[in-house]
Structure 1
């Protein structure tokens, strides 16, 4: 239960229809199995203490009394397990019969949540009310939620069957008992609902032991988190789906009066699977999504060119991944506009640090895509500028490097003016986060098509797009560009080789993209990001290495905000980003001391 993580479970067990005493014992055994795996919140199926297929037997007082007794024994016996559990049973109150889910914890029954739109013989449940028995008053109604006193953010709503779609809380508990059907879309609907409302959802379906007079219960149990399936059991399977929720990833708020409950705070083994590349497209839809993103970028560029009365797209081509994707976007934009690909003006500008590999790849790429390529060497112009400002032209300092980047941008801007065109920016989200761009150099353009895409995603997209028949003439060049080390090529190398490797200076982009994702999307701090990174990159990066690059990430992220405050327009195609126009608002002179102090503390541990 540290850093917002909590282990939860959804399960079922083999019941005896109409035997609450037996079912209560079986439920306790299921809860114990969950507790042995560290489960702190567990949901069991609807009407699991009696069975969900008893029909008019639910009207029998003997069954109702036995079910209540079984619930009280279960609550008392489960007290030592230190978990919050939800079990189903029928409850009669004031002449009405309700299909209820009972929340138990600390040896007590905390809440009876009835089904809203119940079927006979049950009545629709009230929004709020009180159930009184044996001197105890228990909240009865669907208009409540549970709130953990010890763990901020752990708020639970209960919705039986389809009621869950009208329930609002960060964590939704869904006791169910549904017959199997080949046309059933319940799990897909639950997954979509979890994604839309940003909630975790635990579904427990009844299964083994239920009457098969009219069908077979599906028995499916699942743990979902904001649309992602963390664990699930198979159809007709008896068992338990256990997973660790990250409460920072659920954004739904709670509705209704809060019922407090307590859980013992204990450190549990961190077993959650953590994706080391959270920006990457899912494999089952990667090709489709890569094309969709490319089309979104192209549509944004095409519309901007129309509204700016631009006749050509002007792009600086370096032989790197960012300018390669920007070129593909420009070619697609020409298709959308009904223009020839020759209306894309690609410009290669070799200077002091240009390598043979990137130079050759830039030319091959442009030939394969059928765009106009111009070569404008910058050596003499940059050397003259350095002389003009009193630089010796030898000292490889910031002025030496940035003079080249700004000369490139000046050439592109002036060419755009000459050609009636628009300069297409190539910089990506990863570079913007780190400030790895020359202010008013490659930092500036007339429309930045890659500004919302991180480096890791751009690499993936290029490899996917290289498989498309439309890009076959350029596919070999694209693949070699992805394999080429990332470099700004502002410092000369030996014998035409790359002399400046970006990731040796600022660190691996896969780490920085990981830090950026969790920082922007969930607001996670250094301690939690470290915990996630150690899990995600186990066996690849040691703790000291992760923290070294994390420290640099926070230093550069805060220091570079002034560059991000004046970014050119560009299409937002991802859920997180750094555009100052609605995606990320931050003062340029904020201090990073809180975050850096936390990193330093982690280094000392």
Structure 2
């Protein structure tokens, strides 16, 4: 396995291609198709999807029924196969083909000089500007083998093309209108195992139709947990009564991986890398996908699989897809604002219901002046408002230890008083020092002037964290309250918390599913909401500008204890956390994605209020 190979890392490079069409001139179209295929093959592409009827042209009217054209098309297909025999990509090209007494609108699948199969269009539009049934027969019930270019090839909409040397790459091809019906052929194909769904389209353009196509493709890719590759006819098609925009795009499980400009002059393609591992993992995780397969097993058993060896490039061809540096934090400001709105209200509503369910206790929370306790306190204050209870029912305690700074101590009090919650200070140092003394810890038995870093060990740190949590639980007992946890998802995942009687424990933790990188944006979103006065907003912004620190070890040479100096940047931790928990990716692939996301700061978008300097 080559670490830098996109194919070895579970991707397949696909191209949704549109090319200028020469009406009723299969020879000219063949030259265009082959030339563009060579260009795309040089880019490491493993699949090329061309438009519907691109070998002949779509807008041919009754010429589609003539023997001269149909013979020319068959000759052209043989030429395409011969001229691309040395190319790696599997190709889907559109062509009219005669069989028995009818003509079929087909997608012809070719690879390395062979025609692997032919998929006829199942559903023929005969409404508005369309009257395809005048020329074509529907192929929905065809299950046959035909002779094409002198060879027997499978013929039908039931064909799956599986790459034996690219795990997870199983292709199904449908044609234009097939995706507009309530149950597209690709839906059954996905249940039968197809991960990449291709659509060859001759769809003429009307106002708003481009968005309709994307809506359908996105929905298909989402429901089918698949990639959807769409290529429409464009330049060169007849404009007697229609027009064409050459739209191309690729979706992967509802995510738009890429799209090309519309109304192009000359060949254009959307070239992107589809993550096959992601699709396989999603299907494995979403059990109802396989339940649906079992429901339709009798139908799905009829699919025929055509195996082929893709033999793609295995060297470093880069990565043709955007990889978010902050997968928990959208780059788009509007999307980020919506995510913050939803996350905040999920937290608030969860806490409201929990407090109702256990009898409206008071909320007991330790506030440090750091990010996590700040956000938990904000959430709790809003929950009390919705419950119709006074914010004074929130009992906020700051509990300074051996390394608490004046700045964080001040911010904790300013925020608490600004929010109108009950606030008190409880110094844990006497109790912590007594515990250290009782266990004979060097810190408690060494003169202050002689103390050094060697005594600031994990015991020294955890005694403080444990003292705080123990005190909060006893305060909850005393006041009939519940301890509100503050630790975030990133800390829990990394084990950056004190297990047992420590910040690992609480009665209810509103931050447990919120990563550190998102919490910062949640606080900033709350600060900008207009809900708080100027002084409180200033405090929130000051907290955002504070170094992330547990403040358990005293500063040395003016430098406070840094969390990220110990565990690394939260940005990278959350990056790995996302891909591990969301998709279960192997460590080498997470590293591969991180390298492409972070190696060049000038590439890609950054979320608002994120510094590239770090």
Q: TM-score band (shorter)?
A: 0.7 to 0.9
Which of 187, 197, 219 aligns to 1:172? It is 197
Q: Is 1:386–2:427 an aligned residue pair?
A: no
Q: CA–CA distance in 1 between the matches of 2:201 and 2:508?
A: 51
Deviation at 1:134, TM superposition (A): 6.1
For the Cα contact (< 8 Å) 1:492–1:499, is it kept in 2?
yes
Q: Structure 2 matches for 1:335-484, cutoff 5 A? A: 335-394=385-444, 395-440=455-500, 441-473=502-534, 474-484=536-546
Are 1:492 and 2:554 counterparts?
A: yes
CA distance, structure 2, for counterparts of residue 65 and residue 331 of structure 1? 77
Alignment match, 1:597: none
- Alignment-derived partner of residue 130 in structure 1: 145
Task: Give the CA deviation at 1:88.
Answer: 0.4
Q: RCO greater where, 1 or 2, for CA within 8 Å and sep 6 or more?
A: 2
Deviation at 1:393, TM superposition (A): 3.8
SS at match of 1:80: coil
Q: Quote the Cα distance in structure 1 between the aligned partners of 2:185 and 2:476.
A: 55
2:274 to 223, 239, 245: 245
- Paired residue for 2:380? 330
Q: For 1:182 and 1:367, locate their aligned partners in 2 and report how far apart those are by CA, in whole Å.
A: 57
Runs of 5+ consecutive residues of structure 2 not aligned to the other structure: 1-6, 126-132, 284-292, 294-299, 445-454, 603-614
Could you list the per-position Cα deviations for residues 354-387 of structure 1 after superposition, in whole angstroms to 9, with x for gaps in the alignment? 1112111212222332222222111112222333
Which structure 2 residues correspond to residues 553-572 of structure 1 after superposition, within 5 A?
none
2:92 equivalent to 1:86: yes
Q: Deviations over 1:150-177 (max 9, x none)?
A: 1111111112224345411211111112
Partner residue of 2:38?
A: 32
* 1:117–1:123 contact (8 Å) kept in structure 2: no
CA displacement 1:97-149 (0-9 Å, x = unmatched): 22111110020111111122123132221353222346522111112211101
Other-structure match for 1:293: 343
Task: Indicate the SS of the match to 1:45.
Answer: coil
Could you tell me which of 279, 292, 316 is aligned with 2:328? Answer: 279
- Residues 159 and 174 of structure 1 are in contact (CA less than 8 Å); yes or no, is this contact kept in structure 2? yes
Partner Cα separation in structure 1 for residue 564 and residue 360 of structure 2: 36
Q: Is the 8 A contact 2:226 2:252 kept in 1?
A: yes
TM-score by length of 1: 0.85
Alpha-carbon distance between aligned partners in 2 of 1:498 and 1:346, rounded to the nearest angstrom: 28
- Alignment-derived partner of residue 447 in structure 2: none
SS of structure 2 residue aligned to 1:113: strand
Asked if the contact 1:295–1:332 (Cα under 8 Å) also holds between the matched residues in 2, the reply is no
C-alpha contact (below 8 Å) 2:102/2:137 kept by paired residues: yes
Give the deviation of 1:353 after TM superposition: 1.4
Could you say what the CA RMSD is over the residues aligned between the two structures, in angstroms? 2.2
Distance 2:522 2:30 in 1: 53
Cα 1:311–1:180 change in 2 (3 A) is same
Give the conservation status (yes or no) of the 8 Å contact 1:106–1:262.
Answer: no
Q: Deviations over 1:552-592 (max 9, x none)?
A: xxxxxxxxxxxxxxxxxxxxxxxxxxxxxxxxxxxxxxxxx
Give CA deviations for 1:414-455 in whole Å, capped at 9, x if unaligned.
222222222111111111111111012100111111111211
Distance 1:133 1:48, change over 3 A: closer
**Would the aligned equivalents of 1:489 and 1:498 in 2 still touch at CA under 8 Å?**
no
Change in Cα spacing, 1:381 to 1:3, as seen in structure 2 (3 Å) is: same
Secondary structure of 2:532's counterpart equals helix
Distance verdict in 2 for CA 1:315–1:129, change over 3 Å: farther
Q: State the distance in 2 between where 1:415 and 1:127 align.
A: 75
Q: 1:55 to 1:459 in 2, by over 3 A?
A: same
1:320/1:188 Cα in 2 relative to 1: closer, same or farther (>3 Å)? Answer: same
Alignment of 1:99 onto 2:105: yes
Q: How does the TM-score come out when normalised to structure 2?
A: 0.84
Deviation for aligned residue 1:459: 1.5
Partner of 2:78: 72
Partner of residue 231 from structure 1, selected from 258, 261, 265: 258
Q: Which of these residues, 160, 165, 169, is aligned with residue 154 of structure 1?
A: 169
> Which whole-Å deviations, capped at 9, do the CAs of 1:489-519 have from their partners, x for residues lacking one?
1112259x66311111111111111122222
CA contact (8 A) 1:487 1:498 kept: no
> What's the CA shift for 1:480?
2.0
Alpha-carbon distance in 1 for matches of 2:497, 2:425: 22
Unaligned runs of 5+ in 1: 542-605
Task: Tell whether the 8 Å contact from 2:146 to 2:153 is kept in structure 1 after alignment.
Answer: yes
With over 3 angstroms needed to count, the CA separation of the structure-2 counterparts of 1:150 and 1:312, relative to structure 1, is same
Aligned to 2:307: 260
Question: Aligned residues, how many?
Answer: 540
**Deviation, structure 1 residue 522:** 2.7
Partner SS for 1:79: coil
1:189 deviation in Å? 2.9
Q: Which moved more, 1:103-112 or 1:458-467?
A: 458-467
Q: Distance in 2 between matches of 1:329 and 1:193?
A: 37
Question: Which of the residues 149, 159, 163 maps onto 1:144?
Answer: 159
Alignment correspondent of 1:269: 317
Query: Distance in 1 between the 2:564 and 2:401 partners?
Result: 21
How far is the alpha carbon of 1:540 from its aligned partner? 7.0
